[in-house]
């Protein structure tokens, strides 16, 4: 039941995100007078629709996308005065001319000034960027709520568990024939807050771990217990362990591999809490999300090769790699069930994690839709920018103003991109079934 709840929450989040994305196109289009005949969420057969004024609003059977139909997306062929000729036997030319004809067939008498291609460049940029910007706003709002209301998970230097013996597994209390753990021998107790190690103040578990790592065989801990401060000395057990930096990140060598070394073992576990952040932390967090998402999008061809090798070979899936809606649904279901390393069993905390997934999906929609290729929004944005540059250059040189950029000429490439996206989706769905990403 909880697994299904997680899947439903993420499905609803995706559907709402798509609907708002299309509203980001619809509102400015209507504001600028473009005739919009349809607003649809999904693809395939129409499940439900209603007409308000000149626009049909509806939901289709496959809610994995959407569109706003605006008349006159493609201009007439340059030099034809709006007349169409389809005498060419070239299939690509026929495809382009058919698209022009279909676009102009939507223009009824009186609609000549309400076509998309006649708008000023800046208005077309506003309309086509409205969808991706809506996804950015959704991501930013959800991140703001996540950071300021719920908080970010952190390990604090308050002790939640003291190992009974010097096992490598802190939670293992089978101590037959073994010495007590350094923490237990030193008198450390659950609820103690470590505030200094060897005289060095610490405020996080990352700082505590780094200080213990640097202490050698013995460390002195200043702890706070029931409002009182106590000094405890622990004889640490030296073991080969992965080393960390002062900020808690893994220490890596020149090749990017984890560095191992001899470090002290204490035998105490930190306390996990969610710490609300100031609103000033939001821009940096959103910026990091954008950077990480853009890195995935820009390296997508290589990442798809890695996905194929994992799906059809013995390679492991990259936990930071792309996944389909099937994979996202599986992750959401596992989170709702309490899997994937979710530290808390609180249903509220799991719902917050699901909202963070929705925020990540919206950031992915924002970045991916800005790729300057049709049929993505970025392709229309690139066409408008190119037209703006041409007109600006013509004004500077005193030349006649050029006509609209012939975006219809890019349709063969747009169809190729669409086929590529379908193939990529099919591969990701297959990989998410046979070799899903395991988080946590």
Cβ-contact 66, 41 below 8 angstroms: yes
DSSP codes of every residue in 166-227: --SSTT----TT-PBPHHHHHT--TT-EEEEETTEE--SHHHHHHHHHTSTTEEEEEEEETT
The residue written with tokens 């708002």 in the block is 20
State the burial class of residue 114 (Cβ atoms within 10 Å of its Cβ: 0-12, 13-18, 19+): buried
Give the list of residues 6+ apart from residue 53 with CB closer than 8 angstroms, or none.
none
225 closest CA partner among 155, 154, 156, 159: 159
The residue written with tokens 């649904």 in the block is 329
What whole-number distance in Å separates Cα of residue 277 and Cα of residue 431?
37
240 among known catalytic residues: no
Q: Which token pair is 141? A: 């709002």
Print the SS3 string covering 283-332.
HHHHHHHHHHHHHHHHCHHHHHHHHHHHHHCCCCCCCCCCCCHHHHHHHH
Alpha-carbon separation of residue 66 from 14, 20, 40, 386 (angstroms):
11, 10, 5, 26
Cβ-contact 135, 17 below 8 angstroms: yes
State the burial class of residue 230 (Cβ atoms within 10 Å of its Cβ: 0-12, 13-18, 19+): middle
Bridge partner list, 60:
46
Catalytic site residues? 22
């Amino acid at each position: 039941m909880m697994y299904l709840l997680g899947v439903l929450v993420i499905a609803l989040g995706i559907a709402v995100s798509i609907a708002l994305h299309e509203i980001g196109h619809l509102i400015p289009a209507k504001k600028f007078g473009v005739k919009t005949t349809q607003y649809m969420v999904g693809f395939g057969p129409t499940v439900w629709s209603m007409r308000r004024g000149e626009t049909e609003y509806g939901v289709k059977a496959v809610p994995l996308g959407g569109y706003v139909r605006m008349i006159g997306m493609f201009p007439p062929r340059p030099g034809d005065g709006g007349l169409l000729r389809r005498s060419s036997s070239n299939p690509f030319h026929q495809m382009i001319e058919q698209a022009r004809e279909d676009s102009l067939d939507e223009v009824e008498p009186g609609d000549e000034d309400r076509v998309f291609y006649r708008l000023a460049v800046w208005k077309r940029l506003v309309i086509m960027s409205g969808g991706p910007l809506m996804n950015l706003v959704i991501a930013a709002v959800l991140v703001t709520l996540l950071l300021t209301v719920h908080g970010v998970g952190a390990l604090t230097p308050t002790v939640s568990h003291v190992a009974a013996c010097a096992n490598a597994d802190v939670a293992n209390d089978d101590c037959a024939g073994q010495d007590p753990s350094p923490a237990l021998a030193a008198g450390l107790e659950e609820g103690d807050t470590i505030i200094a190690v060897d005289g060095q103040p610490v405020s996080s578990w990352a700082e505590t771990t780094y200080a213990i790592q640097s202490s050698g065989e013995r460390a002195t801990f200043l702890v706070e217990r029931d409002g009182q401060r106590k000094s405890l000395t622990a004889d640490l057990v030296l073991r080969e362990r992965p080393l960390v930096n002062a900020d808690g990140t893994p220490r890596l060598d020149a090749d990017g591999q984890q560095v191992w070394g001899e470090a002290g073992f204490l035998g105490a576990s930190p306390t996990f809490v969610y710490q609300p952040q100031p609103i000033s932390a939001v821009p940096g967090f959103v910026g990091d999300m954008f950077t990480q998402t853009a890195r995935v999008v820009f390296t997508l061809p290589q990442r798809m090769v890695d996905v194929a090798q994992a799906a059809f070979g013995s390679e492991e899936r990259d936990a930071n790699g792309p996944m389909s809606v099937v994979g996202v649904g599986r992750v959401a279901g596992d989170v709702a069930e309490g899997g994937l390393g979710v530290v808390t069993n609180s249903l509220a905390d799991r719902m917050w994690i699901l909202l963070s997934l929705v925020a990540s999906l919206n950031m992915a929609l924002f970045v991916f839709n800005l790729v300057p290729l049709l049929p993505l929004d970025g392709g229309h944005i690139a066409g408008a920018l190119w037209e703006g540059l041409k007109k600006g250059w013509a004004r500077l040189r005193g030349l006649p103003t050029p006509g609209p950029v012939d975006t219809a000429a890019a349709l063969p490439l747009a169809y190729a991109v669409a086929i590529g996206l379908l193939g990529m989706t099919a591969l990701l769905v297959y990989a998410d079934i046979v070799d899903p990403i395991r988080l946590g």
